[in-house]
Structure 1
Amino acid sequence: MFKLLLFCFLIGITVGIGLLTTFLYANTSIVNQVFLRDKYSKLQCIWLLVFLTGCSLLLYYTFSSQALYYSLIFMNPSLEPLQFWDALWVVGITDFVVKFYFMGLKCLILLVPSVMMSHKCKGFWYMCLEEISQYYCTLVSTPVWFRYLIDYGAQTSRAEWHFGILLALLYLIIKLFFVFGQWKTSADVLRLFFTQPSYGMAATKRQCSEAEDICAICQAEFTKPIVLVCQHIFCEECICLWFNREKTCPLCRTVISSHNHKYKDGATSLQLRLF
């Protein structure tokens, strides 16, 4: 019995390290490709898409007897009885697979030519996909933990079973508060996604010539130049890339926007939604 528990523990640790390594590699690669803009590697993006898909399918095939993929559609896997470590195992794997799925979608958006979708528009798509991913991960763990709490003590005394039901109801109440509390952030992201606000106005030829027709970010001639409220001029794509991480003008540090710009660089949050 002890050897079996040790073996299961080692499998869990190994799979966890593998998933974390895969995530870190794919996340770093996607962010780098987004930063390269038109110089990104299509082959690298296709490889990442195939790699993430293959890892997810291999994981579910290896543990096909447990039907772990059921949790993706809010159903319970084939684990009887469901113990605490089983629930944690299912939720953890599901969280990583959902991240892989949305990272694959980001790769697909990255592959769209810039003539069809600008880099600024892609940034809003990355941000929206990341918000949907986090919200989905928050919801998808609910049936697993609810079932675990309901089954708590079912094999022992009736009093412990009733205690499990009370814990399940308490869990649902806390989860509802958590989900509704997160809605404000999600609503702000969706509003930004649909409005896609601009950071300034189109610069005139005179304003560009006064700035010597050189963008301070890319050190090349202006491409679709826009002038900020502080009167500094940049290429539209350059300044959008800058505002993926910053909120101030790169020259004078004037605050340009108070909008949420997180994850517009294609990054994926490492936070595990295990609750």
Structure 2
Amino acid sequence: MEASGGGNSDPYRGSAVTGSSGSSSSSNSRRYSLLSASNLIQAPISTLLEYSGLLRTRPNHLETEPLFHGGVSGGLHGRAEDSTVTSNDGEVSIRIIGAGEQEHHRERAGLVVGQQVREAGGTNEASTRSPAAIAAADGQGDARSGAGEGASQPGNGGSDSEGGETNGRESSYQRYDIQQAARWIEQILPFSLLLLVVFIRQHLQGFFVTIWIAAFLFKSNDILRKQTALKGERKISYLIGISLLFTLHIVGVYWWYRKDDLLYPLIMFPPKGIPPFWHAMFVIVVNDTLVRQAAMVIKCLLLIYFKNSRGRNYRKQGQLLTLVEYLLLLYRALLPTPVWYRFFLNKEYGSLFSSLMTGLYLTFKLTSVVEKVQSFFTALKALSRKDIHYGAYATAEQVNAAGDLCAICQEKMHAPILLRCKHIFCEDCVSEWFERERTCPLCRALVKSADLRSFGDGSTSLFFQIF
């Protein structure tokens, strides 16, 4: 028997290793095969959730087939329990049983049936045994039960297994809820897309105009930042050309919508009539975008004025650009107020309700406007202050002691600045550095306080001011 069992162990082990590697490779192939075109079209959300691992992969037909014709089934990913059975000729057979949910219920049902059969056999034996034998058996049973109780008291294996089964059921319920929600979204997704198409068709002109002016704004912001970074290499003709282009774009859009009450909010007057919700949103977005475009024209004029700026003039150019941006932020915060004031003050909903909504909106708006006013006055103070708040001008002795070479531009220092950390740089180099950073370029010591964000690089805030 020993020779037979040992001779058959190696082939079984080799087949087990081969099966595990094959199952891992097949699981990986199944995972990557989820992102097929048919799965994405039929069930896009469920496919993505299954690919990310949030949902269990849907089984294939090959995985659900029973391993044996006797009715025992199990997944390749389940818990394996092997029981060895020795036959008459000395061969060892291994039966692999999965730990799926159906198999778990099947095992419990088998145990119940086995217990009933054993109880029936026990009653037949008890009827044929003598009273002395029955008494002796009862004594052995009591001893076994006492030993079983004593052994079960120090351990909590049963409670741990029950807690694991409870957590497993809860996680399966959660996965089921996620799967049902994903399927519900997939069901309403085609209808939502149809509604979106109809909405775009109803507001086709406004939809494309909004996309156009937003794309024009983003491109203009990129051009302006590049022109600011060129410093003395900027071309006056190019700056004048883009300024005229920005101006023509603004005038053209307002002329096209001259009958849609776009100009009234610019001077803080509410529209004549009560605007519908989507029309109010369109008026606010168009005005907010074109006002930023007009501010870019002013920034272009500043860049023309400070074309050959160096040292102190370059720092003043950054302060002026920052001041223009914070003034723009303050005006943009006030710009939607007339439109929403007219929208909320609708007497059709009742005087009390409309007055309450208008008062709440104005209260919320006041808090944001106060913040913008504080930022504007902080930028104005920075412009009026002549000293450098992150250092001071270096003397000739300090420059000679540190070396007459700037660590940023690797050239001879022009208007050297001594930082608080005792490092010296050119004023225009370190001013440009502090447009993006707050620390020293060499030692990384904190030099500039975070009192106000700088817009000295010519950038414009791209967030829409809706409310």
TM-score normalised by the chain length of structure 1: 0.89
Look up the match of 1:271: 463
1:118 maps to a residue whose letter is: N
Residue 127 of structure 1, aligned match among 297, 313, 322 = 322
Aligned-partner Cα distance in 1 for 2:340–2:433: 41
Residue 448 of structure 2 corresponds to 257
CA distance in 2, matches of 1:272, 1:16: 12
Q: Check 1:8–1:219 CA distance in 2 against 1; reply closer, same or farther (3 A cut).
A: farther
State the match for 2:296 in structure 1: 103
Deviation of the 1:161 alpha carbon: 4.9
Please show how residues 1-275 of structure 1 align to structure 2 within 5 Å. 6-77=200-271, 80-113=273-306, 114=308, 118-151=313-346, 154=348, 159-198=349-388, 199-258=390-449, 259-275=451-467
Structure with larger Rg: 2
For 1:270 and 1:6, how far apart are their aligned partners in 2?
Answer: 24
Q: What is the aligned length?
A: 268
Partners of 1:49 and 1:164 in 2: how far apart?
A: 43
Q: Contact 2:329–2:372 (CA<8 Å) still a contact in 1?
A: no
SS of the counterpart of 1:65? coil
Q: Any conservation in 1 of the 2:270–2:341 contact (CA below 8 Å)?
A: no
Q: Structure 2: how far apart are the matches of 1:244 and 1:147?
A: 40
TM (norm. structure 2) is: 0.54
> Which stretch shifts more, 248-257 or 112-121?
112-121
Post-superposition offset of 1:200: 2.1
Measured against aligned partners, the alpha-carbon deviations of 1:179-221 in whole angstroms (never above 9, x if no partner) come to 2243333332222122154132222333333443211111111
Task: Measure, in 2, the Cα distance between the counterparts of 1:120 and 1:8.
Answer: 50
Shift of the 64–150 alpha-carbon distance from structure 1 to 2, 3 Å rule, reads same
**Greater Cα offset, 66-75 or 160-169:** 160-169
Q: Provide closer, same or farther for how the CA distance between residues 87 and 183 of structure 1 changes in structure 2, counting only shifts above 3 A.
A: same
Q: Equivalents in 1 of 2:215, 2:304: separation in Å? A: 24
Q: CA offsets per residue over residues 19-46 of structure 1, 9 Å max, x none?
A: 1111111111111111121112222321
Q: Is the 8 A contact 1:124 1:196 kept in 2?
A: no
Deviation string, structure 1 residues 213-258 (Cα, Å, up to 9, x no partner):
2111111111111211222111111111111111111111111120
| Deviation of the 1:118 alpha carbon | 0.9
Distance 1:68 1:196 in 2: 41
Distance 1:161 1:85 in 2: 23
Change (3 A) 1:206 1:6: closer
- Higher normalized contact order (CA 8 Å, seq sep 6+, divided by chain length): 1
Distance 2:386 2:295 in 1: 21
1:134-172 Cα offsets, whole Å, 9 max, x none, are 110111211110001112x63xxxx54542232112111
Specify the SS of the correspondent of 1:118: helix
* Distance in 1 of aligned mates of 2:385 and 2:337: 32
Q: Distance in 2 between matches of 1:106 and 1:208?
A: 35
Tell me if structure 1 keeps the 8 A contact 2:270–2:338: yes
Q: SS in structure 2 opposite 1:68?
A: coil
- Counterpart CA distance in 2 for 1:8 and 1:20 is 20
Contact 1:60 1:67 in 2 (8 A): no
Distance, in Å, in 2 between the alignment partners of 1:178 and 1:232 is 39
Aligned match of 2:7 = none
Is the CA contact 2:271–2:342 (under 8 Å) kept in the aligned structure 1?
Answer: no
Question: Match for 1:166: what amino acid?
Answer: L
Moved more, 201-210 or 48-57: 201-210
Identity %: 31
Q: Relative to structure 1, is the Cα distance of residues 164 and 49 closer, same or farther in structure 2, using a 3 angstrom cutoff?
A: same
* Separation in 2, partners of 1:255, 1:115: 27
Give me the whole-angstrom Cα distance separating, in 1, the residues matched to 2:381 and 2:263: 32
Conserved 8 A contact 1:123-1:264 = yes
CA distance in 2, matches of 1:10, 1:254: 54
